[in-house]
């Protein structure tokens, strides 16, 4: 009989865009990567998967999370459960793995509500102590897990994330009408830097704005103009900051393709998917030192996060040094094509087998 592994694939409003993609990609791919295991997906929203799905309702912190999920795992006779985020039951009910993408809330507590910090103290620290493994996206997060939550290095598995297939397809095959699409957004025909992501304080966009004032190009941001005073205040010398709103994959692909460089100024990042997406499109990446995941470091230009002059210098190189641009393009595209979700799923399934073997010997 195959061992049963339950995937806690619930998606709630607390999940970022990257977290949602992680859940959906693993729920779809792990069953294919682990034919020797019986994978069961516990979900509260429709998911594409070949595995059996057990539907649940509810959000975080309620009866579903605290009672229904662990009882479901027990009813399935699961040998192992993988919680895809920090939002796991206080008593998971079966041996478990926990994915922690980053610890931004603990590194910059002043930027978040006290309730989330209390959750880390009361729940996440306990989960870290009891989990069979902690799964994280980048080697740099391991030290942070040790420092803030007392994790043991030998019980942390680093499994990088990836570019999704749809973006790779768009990178390789431009869609008709991209020029007209960009014209409608106001970004066609002028060189621009691109930032894709949310506008929270730890993304450090103030440093990007300061650095950009000395550059001869536009600056394009995804998301709306939700900045105090509006983005117009940053315009200089006929150069603009353009907020393109929330865009879907084809629109984002068109924006990536024509960007002169992608800039990621975050104070820290778990695994910034826009960086590897930009590399898939052959766009040079300029990123703060603590935001670049280890697999991308040789293909990116880095700078200290709060140093606007260093960011400006690296951006100038990415904009104007043609030999460097070609080198970054070649390196980045090679890295992006190595980092696939099938690889992520395969490494995750291999971890399940290792943990199940350890459990069988107890």
Same domain, 193 and 69: no
Which residues touch 227 (CB under 8 Å, ≥6 apart)?
199, 205
Among the listed residues 286, 304, 300, the one whose alpha carbon sits nearest the alpha carbon of residue 219: 286
Specify burial of residue 237 (Cβ count, 10 A radius: 0-12, 13-18, 19+).
exposed
Domain housing 90: 4-161+341-360
**Do residues 282 and 259 both lie within one domain?**
yes
Query: Do 216 and 138 share a structural domain?
Result: no
Quickly state the pLDDT bin for 45 (edges 50, 70, 90).
very high
Question: Tell me, what's the pLDDT at 332?
Answer: 98
pLDDT band at 34 (very low <50, low <70, confident <90, very high): very high
Q: Are 218 and 187 in contact (CB under 8 A)?
A: yes
At residue 339, does pLDDT exceed 90?
Answer: yes
Q: What tokens appear for 111 in the block?
A: 């930027």
Same domain, 184 and 127: no
Confidence of residue 337 (pLDDT cuts 50, 70, 90): very high
At residue 237 the predicted structure's pLDDT band, cuts being 50, 70 and 90, is confident
Q: Is the pLDDT of residue 112 over 90?
A: no
Question: Do 136 and 25 have their domain in common?
Answer: yes
- CA torsion 309→311→312→313, rounded to 10°? 90
SS3 label, residue 166: helix
Mean pLDDT value across residues 53-57: 95
The per-residue pLDDT for 188 is 81
Does residue 183 register a pLDDT over 90? yes
Q: Is the pLDDT of residue 58 over 90?
A: no
Q: Are residues 121 and 217 in the same domain?
A: no
SS3 355: helix
Tell me: do 65 and 20 sit in the same domain.
yes
pLDDT reported for residue 209: 97
Span 302-314, pLDDT tens digits? 999 999 999 999 9
* pLDDT confidence of residue 171: 96
Residues in Cβ contact with 274 at an 8 Å cutoff, skipping those fewer than 6 apart: 195, 196, 197, 262, 264
Confidence of residue 239 (pLDDT cuts 50, 70, 90): very high
Answer yes or no: do 80 and 119 share one domain: yes
Show the DSSP H helices in 14-155 as ranges: 17-33, 63, 69-75, 104-107, 114-119, 125-130, 140-149
**Structure-block tokens of residue 132:** 């069979």
**Is the model's pLDDT at 297 over the cut of 90?**
yes
Same domain, residue pair 206 and 311: yes
Q: Does 48 share its domain with 177?
A: no
The sign of the torsion formed by the CA atoms of 322, 327, 331, 334 equals positive
Tell me the mean pLDDT in the region 339-356: 98
Q: In what order do the strands lie in the sheet with 156-158?
A: 52-55, 38-43, 4-8, 80-83, 96-99, 133-136, 156-158
pLDDT at 22 over 90: yes
Provide the percentage of residues in the chain whose pLDDT is more than 90: 93
Which CATH number do you get for residue 50?
3.40.50.2000
Average pLDDT over residues 67-81: 97
In a 13 Å sphere around the CA of 147, the CA atoms on its Cβ side amount to 10
3-state SS, residue 193: strand
If one counts the domains in the chain, the total is: 2
The string of pLDDT tens digits covering residues 113-139 is 899 999 999 999 999 999 999 999 999
pLDDT value at position 240?
A: 93
Both tokens assigned to 219: 């600056």
Residue 238, pLDDT > 90, answer no
Q: What is the CA radius of gyration of the chain?
A: 21
111 pLDDT above the threshold of 90: no
Q: Is the pLDDT of residue 56 over 90?
A: yes
My answer on whether 127 and 174 are in the same domain is no
- Three-state DSSP state, 80: strand
End-to-end CA, the chain: 19
Within this chain, do residues 132 and 276 fall inside the same structural domain, yes or no?
no
**Averaged pLDDT of the chain:** 96
């Amino acid at each position: 009989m195959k061992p049963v592994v339950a995937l806690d694939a619930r998606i709630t409003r607390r999940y970022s865009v990257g977290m949602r993609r992680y859940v959906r990609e693993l729920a779809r791919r792990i069953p294919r990567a682990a034919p020797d295991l019986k994978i069961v997906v516990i979900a509260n929203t429709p998911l594409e998967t070949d595995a059996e799905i057990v539907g649940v309702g509810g959000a975080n912190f309620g009866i579903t999370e605290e009672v229904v999920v662990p009882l479901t795992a027990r009813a399935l006779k699961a040998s192992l459960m993988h919680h895809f985020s920090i939002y796991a039951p206080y008593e998971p009910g079966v041996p478990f793995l926990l994915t922690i993408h980053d610890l931004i809330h603990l590194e910059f507590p002043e930027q978040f509500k006290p309730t989330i910090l209390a959750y880390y103290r009361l729940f996440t620290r306990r989960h870290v102590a009891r989990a069979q493994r902690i799964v994280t996206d980048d080697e740099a997060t391991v030290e942070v897990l040790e420092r803030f939550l007392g994790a043991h290095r030998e019980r942390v598995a680093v499994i990088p994330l990836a570019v999704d297939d749809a973006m790779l397809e768009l990178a390789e095959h431009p869609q008709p009408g991209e020029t007209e699409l960009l014209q409608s957004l106001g970004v066609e025909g002028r060189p621009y830097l691109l930032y894709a992501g949310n506008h929270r304080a730890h993304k450090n966009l103030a440093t990007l704005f300061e650095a950009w004032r000395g550059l001869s190009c536009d600056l394009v941001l995804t998301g709306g103009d939700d900045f105090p005073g509006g983005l117009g205040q940053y315009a200089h010398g006929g150069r603009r900051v353009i907020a393109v709103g929330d865009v879907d994959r084809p629109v984002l692909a068109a924006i990536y393709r024509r960007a002169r460089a992608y800039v990621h100024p975050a104070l820290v990042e778990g695994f910034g998917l826009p960086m590897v997406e930009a590399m898939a499109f052959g766009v040079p990446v300029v990123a703060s030192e603590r935001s670049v995941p280890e697999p991308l470091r040789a293909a990116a230009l880095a700078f200290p996060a709060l140093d606007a002059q260093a960011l400006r210098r690296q951006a100038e190189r990415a904009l104007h040094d043609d030999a460097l641009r070609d080198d970054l393009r070649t390196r980045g595209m090679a890295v992006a094509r190595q980092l696939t979700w099938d690889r992520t799923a395969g490494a995750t399934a291999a971890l399940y087998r290792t943990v199940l073997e350890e459990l069988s010997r107890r």
